[in-house]
Amino acid sequence: MVSKRTDRGYEILNITVDVGGGKQDRIIVHENDDPPAVARDFAIKHNLSAKLESALSKNIYELIRDIIKDQFQLSNSFSSKTNASISDPKNYGEKLYMKGLKHKEQVEANKQLLKMQLEREVAQKTSFKPIINENSRKLAKNAQSRSNADIYHHNQQVVETEYTYAPKINEKSLKLAGNSTNRIQELYEEAKLKKQRIQSMYEHAKKTEFPFKPSILVRGQPSSPNEVVERLLNSKQNYDEYIEELRKKYEVTRDPETGQAFFHPNLGKSYKMQRTQENVWDSLYKQQKRTPEMPEEYPYMPVKLESKARTDKILLKVKIDRFSEIFQQLNPDVNGLIAFKNINMNEIDSIVLKIIMPLLLELEELDQPLNFEEFVDSMENLLKTLSQAEKDVFLTKQKRKIEEQDNSTKKSVNSCDFVNLYQRHIDQKSMTSAKLEIEREKKKILELEGCTFHPQTTKYPTSLFK
């Protein structure tokens, strides 16, 4: 079934176009229609631009061309099949079979044409096509050609007419508004002045802290190797002289209490024992006659009160010895550095380990090796946080021999066999002397802790002991 014929011919194309805003419309093209005219009428109807009109006309041309091409291919296929059946009739059965195939294809083609015709008829009944006169077409064209200046002028008029309200301000409000200052401007000026002050302070600090400005652009004459060597030797000599002056300045050679020079023993001499020819009893008798009220004046008589500098020197020696012993327990490497990963906790005394545990935790956290001088500084800072009892326990050396003697004494007391009385007396005497020595050392450390003198150190590296 084919479409009905009109004065414009048969309907050959029916397409749906989206015109925007969710609206769609159909374009129906007949045999005698001109595609540019159809596209122009559709553009005027929906107020489309000239660019869209040309694109629509081009699209209609391409669709018509595709339909003509499909019809040509279909007619060729039918003619080829008919010619093949006529030219090659083998028998009556095959002829009937080919006839049936041809009839079936014709029926399918008629079905497709009928379906398309029904869709077109339904679309024609349901679609509305308004009649546009000449005046409407002119208005649509003029609407597209309106300039932007007219639109801007119209918008400006709308804006001017919308905001016409002006609030009324009384006299009090006018006075307040006139006397008030711009707070934002004040804050801006204040921030500007503050920035200038900070910049000037920074420049002043830079000039005072770094007064030297090397002239890196000026090229000087290259110095010869002899001049470089001489300059290095002179700098080394000046450095040694400066160190010697500081050593003489801060070295304590006399007792501040008595003003006498310290005693320095002469080592290396060979002393010979001189026997006195006088009778011992006579010499003791003469010594008994000396009156205690007139003591013999001896230039090198020992002073009862030790000086503070000497006390600090002794205390420093005790600390350094103890620090050196603990430093060796921390397993230093060949370069004299200790690291947390190289420390064996089993080799350290339990009491010492408990006291220096904060230092070990800090060493693990920083993960940096320490040399002996840095270890001494860290231990000095650690001692400041300890109590007096902890300091005494830390600075007191634990003598293993005394513990072994105590164990041997206990074994001898607890043993069932009888030991020589003289041997037990010697062991008891040695144990007593060891305990007395420990008590003396504790007392000495307590006396040294009360000293308030601190030596002045220089910025140049010097040895701990001379």
Q: Each residue of 244-299: pLDDT tens digit? A: 888 888 777 777 777 777 776 666 555 555 556 677 777 777 776 655 555 444 44
Average pLDDT of the chain, as a whole number: 74
CA–CA separation, 179 and 176 (whole Å)? 5
Q: Read off the pLDDT of residues 44-74 as tens digits, 9 standing for 90 and up.
A: 888 888 888 888 888 888 888 888 777 777 7
Q: Read off the pLDDT of residues 136-149 as tens digits, 9 standing for 90 and up.
A: 777 776 766 666 66
Contact yes or no for 26/15 (Cβ under 8 A): yes
Report the domain count for the chain: 2
CA–CA separation, 370 and 219 (whole Å)? 43
Any residues with CB less than 8 A from the CB of 382 and at least 6 apart, and which?
355, 356, 358, 359
Q: Read off the pLDDT of residues 6-49 as tens digits, 9 standing for 90 and up.
A: 667 777 778 888 777 777 788 888 877 888 888 888 888 888 88
CA 406 to chain CA centroid, Å, is: 59
DSSP assignment letter at 16 = E
- Examine residue 392 and state whether it is found in any structural domain, yes or no: yes
Which residue among 91, 125, 143 closes a domain?
Answer: 143
SS3 450: coil
Q: How confident is the model at residue 1 (pLDDT cuts 50, 70, 90)?
A: very low
Task: Please indicate whether residue 279 or residue 354 has the higher confidence score (pLDDT).
Answer: 354
- Examine residue 283 and state whether it is found in any structural domain, yes or no: no
- Examine residue 200 and state whether it is found in any structural domain, yes or no: no
pTM of the model: 0.25
pLDDT higher than threshold 80 for residue 184:
yes
Provide the pLDDT for residue 346.
82
CA–CA separation, 272 and 261 (whole Å)? 27
Provide the pLDDT for residue 370.
83
- Examine residue 232 and state whether it is found in any structural domain, yes or no: no
pLDDT-wise least confident of 151-160, 318-327, 331-340: 151-160
Contact yes or no for 255/262 (Cβ under 8 A): yes
pLDDT higher than threshold 50 for residue 391:
yes
- Examine residue 402 and state whether it is found in any structural domain, yes or no: yes
Which two tokens mark 179? Answer: 């006397």
Q: How confident is the model at residue 425 (pLDDT cuts 50, 70, 90)?
A: confident
pLDDT higher than threshold 70 for residue 366:
yes
Contact yes or no for 38/27 (Cβ under 8 A): yes
Contact yes or no for 45/33 (Cβ under 8 A): no
Portion of the chain with pLDDT greater than 90, in percent: 3
pLDDT higher than threshold 70 for residue 328:
yes
Q: What domain range includes position 28? A: 11-143
- Examine residue 216 and state whether it is found in any structural domain, yes or no: no
pLDDT higher than threshold 70 for residue 371:
yes
The CA–CA distances, whole Å, from 116 to 28, 67, 122 equal 13, 14, 10
* Rounded mean pLDDT, 70-97: 66
- Examine residue 182 and state whether it is found in any structural domain, yes or no: no
For the ranges 75-79, 116-120, 415-419, the one whose mean pLDDT is highest: 116-120
- Examine residue 210 and state whether it is found in any structural domain, yes or no: no
Which residue among 83, 116, 143 closes a domain?
Answer: 143
Provide the pLDDT for residue 299.
45
